[in-house]
Copies of this chain bind each other. A is one copy, B any other.
Amino acid sequence: MKIALDAMGTDDAPITEIAGAVVSVGLDPTLRVILVGDEAALTGPLSEFPAQEQIEVVHAPDRIDSSLAPVAALRRSPNSSIGVGLGLHAAGKADAFVSAGSTGAVMAASLRLLRPVRGVDRPPVGTMFPTHLGPTLVTDAGANIDCKPHNLAQFARVGSIYMQDLYGVSRPRVGLLNVGAEQIKGTEVLQDAYRLLAGSDLNFVGNIEGRDIVNHACDVLVCDGFTGNILLKFYESLAAFLVAHLRDRLMPGDLGAEFEEAFRVFDYAEYGGAPLLGVNGVSIICHGESSPKAISAAIGMAARTARSGIVDHIARDLAS
Q: How far is the CA of A236 from the CA of B213 in the complex (A)?
A: 11
Query: Is A164's beta carbon under 8 Å from chain B?
Result: no
A212 an interface residue at 8 Å Cβ cutoff? yes
Q: A211-B234, A250-B258 are in contact. List 4 more A-B contacts (CB 8 A).
A: A177-B230, A179-B229, A210-B230, A249-B262
Task: Find chain B residues with CB under 8 A from A232 CB.
Answer: 210
CB proximity to B under 8 Å, residues A216-269: 225-227, 229-239, 241-242, 245-246, 249-250, 255, 258-259, 261-262, 265
Give the interface centre of A177, A214, A241 by most chain B CB atoms within 10 Å: A214
What bracket does the count of chain A residues touching chain B fall in?
35 or more
Known: A186-B145, A227-B230. A237 touches B250 (CB 8 A): no
CA distance A238 to B232 in the complex (A): 13
In contact, A210 and B233 (Cβ under 8 angstroms) = yes
Q: A187-B145, A258-B249 are in contact. Are A234 and B234 (CB under 8 A)?
A: yes
| A209 adjacent to chain B (CB < 8 Å) | yes
A170 at the interface (CB under 8 A from B): no
Partner of A211, one of B142, B236, B245: B236
A185 to B261, CA, bound (A): 37
Q: Is there contact, CB below 8 Å, between A237 and B212?
A: yes
The smallest C-beta distance from A242 to any residue of chain B, in angstroms, reads: 6
* Complex: A194 Cα to B210 Cα, angstroms: 26
Residue of B whose beta carbon sits closest to that of A265: B245
- A-side interface residues toward B, CB under 8 Å? 132, 142, 145-146, 177, 179, 186-187, 209-215, 225-227, 229-239, 241-242, 245-246, 249-250, 255, 258-259, 261-262, 265
Q: How far is the CA of A142 from the CA of B249 in the complex (A)?
A: 33
> Is the beta-carbon distance between A214 and B187 smaller than 8 angstroms?
no
- Contact (Cβ within 8 A) B179 A230: yes
Rounded to whole angstroms, the CA-CA distance of A115 and B177 in the bound complex is: 31
Contacts of A209 in B (CB 8 A): 230, 233
* A100→B233 CA distance, assembly (Å): 30
Indicate whether A237 sits within 8 Å of B262 (C-beta atoms), given known contacts A187-B145, A242-B242: no
Best-buried of A145, A215, A226 by chain B (most CB within 10 Å)? A226
Q: Please name all residues of chain B whose beta carbon is closer than 8 Å to the beta carbon of A241 when the two chains form the complex.
A: 132, 214-215
CA distance A28 to B277 in the complex (A): 59
CB–CB A262/B235 < 8 A: no
| Closest B residue by C-beta to A142 | B179
CB distance from A241 to the nearest CB of B (A): 5
Other-chain contact of A210, B212, B234, B249, B262 (Cβ < 8 Å): B234
Chain B contacts for A132, CB-based, 8 A: 241, 245
Collect the chain B residues with CB atoms within 8 Å of residue A230's CB. 177, 179, 209-210, 227, 231
